[in-house]
């Protein structure tokens, strides 16, 4: 994980996703992953229930993350990826 977006939806997160991917930051995690990927839906449900998560497993195919639900837990994700940069959109 190289970049974590801390901005909420409707603050340019889809544009940020496109920009990060174009700039070479690899595949970017976005809310669409939760909607269209059952494994991710279940993982975020478990997180919401207070269960622990293996961030490295959840984000194994991604090098950046923006939008909900990653944005609300950016501090926890940053703890797992201390070298990542946080970008806040408003």
Q: Which residues pair with 4 in a beta bridge?
A: 65, 86
pTM of the model: 0.93
For the record, the structure tokens of 16 come out as 């940020």
pLDDT category of residue 61 using cuts at 50, 70 and 90: very high
| Burial class of residue 57 (count of CB atoms within 10 Å of its CB; 0-12, 13-18, 19+) | exposed
**Tens-digit pLDDT profile for residues 2-56:** 999 999 999 999 999 999 999 999 999 999 999 999 999 999 999 999 999 999 9
Of all helices (H) and strands (E), which one includes residue 80? Answer: helix 74-80
Domain residue spans of the chain: 3-87
């Amino acid at each position: 994980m190289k970049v974590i977006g801390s901005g909420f939806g409707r603050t340019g997160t889809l544009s940020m996703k496109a920009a990060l991917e174009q700039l070479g930051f690899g595949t970017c995690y976005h809310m669409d992953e939760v909607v269209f990927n059952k494994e991710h839906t279940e993982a975020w449900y478990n997180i919401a229930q207070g269960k622990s998560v293996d961030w490295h497993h959840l984000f194994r195919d991604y090098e950046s993350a923006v939008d909900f639900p990653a944005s609300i837990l950016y501090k926890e994700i940053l703890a797992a990826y201390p070298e990542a940069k946080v970008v806040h959109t408003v």
